[in-house]
Amino acid sequence: MAALKKVLIAATVAAIAAFFGHGFLKINRLSLASREMPVKHLKCHYLPNIEYGAEDITVLKDGLAFLSTGLHDYLDMPSFSNEPGKMYVLDLLHPKPTPVELQIKGELDLSSFNPHGISVYTDEADDSIYLFVVNHPQRKSQVEIFRFVWDDTLVHLKTVAHPLLHSVNDIVAVGPEHFYATNDRYFHNAAPQVLTVVLSLPWCNVVYYSPEEVREAAGGIQSANGINISPDKRLFSAHLTMNNACVHNGCFNLEVHLNIQGLDIETETPGFRPQ
């Protein structure tokens, strides 16, 4: 009996050690800690005004870029400030591009504004520009829809909240009130969420929203992150815990995996070429 007890204890210790060892290797792979970074000497320069929390960028075909900044208190990550987030616009074709803060008009609570992923949609009927912003006030997930007017103003039109949009990371707009969004986690508490990562549980998804219907467009994803749509209407989603991206066809079934080492996806904008 004593020998059997020792065997059981040893087996339990070994199983626990194997579990934590697997978890360590998994996190080490996800963080790309052992990746060799090639040194590229690019002509880069610092953009003023962007102090912390720069999160996402999307570009119009005329070279005008929108930026979301100030993301904090998200996924239990360290926060450098608890100040409300801000939106900026940047003319990439200007010889010395400088971010300009966008003035937000409407009934949105700016004191808890916490922007994450963004997307822009241009209505070809009247050239109206709509900006979609993932917002995390008090750690919630919702989508704010704005109309861009003049040179530096966003008019808040609508807040979208739905049970299926429970942990939104990024978004791609496909109409004035229509979009696809990624949920990057299943649990909101850190401990169970770490277990889903270590155990590679595919419990995240891509959700389609319109005023008429809200549904899961793609499931079985370990951690959906960046998302975008190409000019030929193919949907791309980046998966953080798999270090790859997926391409979905018109029915949004998985077609092919693309090996990447990034989080956000920004497809080429027709008619615009960075300088």
The residues carrying an active-site annotation are 116
Place of tokens 């996190």: 27
Instruction: Give the whole-angstrom CA distance, residue 228 versus residue 119.
Output: 8
Instruction: Give the whole-angstrom CA distance, residue 30 versus residue 262.
Output: 11
* 159 close to 165: Cβ distance less than 8 angstroms: no
Residue 139: partners with Cβ closer than 8 Å, 6 or more residues away: 73, 74, 188
86-91 and 128-135 beta bridge pairing: unpaired
Instruction: Give the whole-angstrom CA distance, residue 17 versus residue 20.
Output: 5
* 211 close to 205: Cβ distance less than 8 angstroms: no
Q: Which amino acid is at 133?
A: V
CA dihedral 67, 73, 79, 83 (to 10 degrees): 60
